[in-house]
């Protein structure tokens, strides 16, 4: 029949015969993909410290270190062992030994919201962060003309 899409017969993960439900994954592999960013991850790094567990979710490149787990509005979010959640870049900054003064937020100097490299971060006021974001957006628009 024309215009009808046929679903795959089995999950797209190798050796999984389960019926696909979402994004060509079975329910279990879809949950793993949503939770870890990888449908083949079998378990989390249980028993590790928060810091050690945090770094299992990071891909370190030559410059930016990219967060590969839970996302909220384009930024990484990390769940500590006590159940509290924190933005991934803030956790990385604090784990590096730096402190974020009260009333300040973290600005990504590299302009990559998933970057957790502390060398690419600077504590600034929310106003300064907004000003810099606007400046970056204006520069991007003028470069695209």
Question: Does residue 130 surpass a pLDDT of 70?
Answer: yes
Q: Are residues 14 and 67 in the same domain?
A: no
Distance in angstroms (rounded) separating the CA atoms of residues 115 and 61? 10
Quick one: 56 and 115 in the same domain?
yes
Residue 72: DSSP 8-state? E
3-state class (DSSP) for residue 131: helix
Residue 57 or residue 38, greater confidence: 57
Distance CA 126, CA 106 (A): 9
pLDDT for res 1: 47
Structural domain span for residue 135 = 50-143
**Residue 13 pLDDT exceeds 50:** yes
Q: Are residues 70 and 135 in the same domain?
A: yes
Whether residue 90 sits in one domain with residue 28: no
Q: Where are the alpha helices (DSSP H) in the chain?
A: 27-36, 50-55, 88-95, 126-143
Give the number of domains in the chain: 2
Q: Indicate if 83 and 125 belong to the same structural domain.
A: yes
Instruction: Tell me the pTM.
Output: 0.65
Q: Tens digit of pLDDT for each residue in 94-128?
A: 999 999 999 999 999 999 999 999 999 999 999 99
Q: What is the mean pLDDT of the chain?
A: 86
* Helix, coil or strand: residue 6: coil
Angle at CA 29, nearest 5°, toward 27 and 31? Answer: 70
Q: How far apart are CA 12 and CA 20, in angstroms?
A: 8
Residues 52-106 have pLDDT tens digits of 999 999 999 999 999 999 999 999 999 988 889 999 999 999 999 999 999 999 9
pLDDT of 41 above 80: no
């Amino acid at each position: 029949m024309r215009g009808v899409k046929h679903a795959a017969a089995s999950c797209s993960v190798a050796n999984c015969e389960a019926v696909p439900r979402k994004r060509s994954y079975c329910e279990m592999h879809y949950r793993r993909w949503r939770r870890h960013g990888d449908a083949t991850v079998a378990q989390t790094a249980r028993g590790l410290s928060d810091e050690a567990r945090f770094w299992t979710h990071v891909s370190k490149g030559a410059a930016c270190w990219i967060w590969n787990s839970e996302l909220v509005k384009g930024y990484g979010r990390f769940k500590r062992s006590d159940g509290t959640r924190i933005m991934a870049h803030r956790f990385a900054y604090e784990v590096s030994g730096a402190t974020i003064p009260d009333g300040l937020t973290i600005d990504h100097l590299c302009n990559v919201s998933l970057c957790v490299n502390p060398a690419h971060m600077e504590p600034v006021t929310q106003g300064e962060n907004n000003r810099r974001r606007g400046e970056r957006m204006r520069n991007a628009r003028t470069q695209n003309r």
